[in-house]
Amino acid sequence: ARFLQLCCRGPANRLCGMNKPVNVHGTGLVLGELGVLLRGPSGAGKSVLSMALLDRWEGRGQPAFLVADDRVDIADEGTRLVMLAPPQLAGLIELRGRGIVSRPHREWAQLHLVIDLVPELTRMVEEEDLQTEMFGHTLPRAPVPQAGVVGLGHQILLVAEAAAQAVQQAAP
């Protein structure tokens, strides 16, 4: 019932009729016009990287919003996947050493790009590693070394490059 209330009001009303969402471990963001899902094990640095990405996009005058941290609902709309914020997590993100903090957020966003935080740096990534399959949809993917393998600046550059390529791929 909560899902139908969430998706059937305001601008998200076109999401009605989707399959029941699946809750996944990850952090959902809106960076510019892209919906981005960061995946990785607990402690890999998803939240810190997410906050840094939000700051970078916002600092450049581009839209930057949190969908949800730690858990994100993914719904299959048929032609696309949509990230939804579980109500209890909307706008909240954990900053280890500080606690739970709030950030501007969106209740939902189309998913365009998956960032996987991985345990090692691959110097030259194979083409087949630059896409992933989720619920029958093929999406652009970027493997990004997790916290401690490379610095935060390197992680941000890898995500920014993947985002730029995803935007180019999406252009008509």
The pLDDT profile of the chain, 172 residues, written as one tens digit per residue, is: 333 333 333 334 444 445 789 999 999 999 999 999 999 999 899 999 999 999 999 999 999 999 999 999 999 999 999 999 999 988 989 888 898 999 999 999 999 999 999 999 999 999 999 999 999 999 999 999 999 999 999 999 999 999 999 998 877 6
User: For the whole model, what pTM was predicted?
Assistant: 0.87
One-character DSSP codes across the chain: -HHHHHHTSGGGGGGTTPPPPEEEESEEEEETTEEEEEE--TTSSHHHHHHHHHHHHHHTT--EEEEESSEEEEEE-SSSEEEE--TTTTTEEEETTTEEEE--B-SEEE--EEEEEESS--SS--GGGGEEEETTEEEEEEEEEPBTTB-HHHHHHHHHHHHHHHHHHH--
pLDDT digits (tens, 9 = 90+) for 136-162: 999 999 999 999 999 999 999 999 999
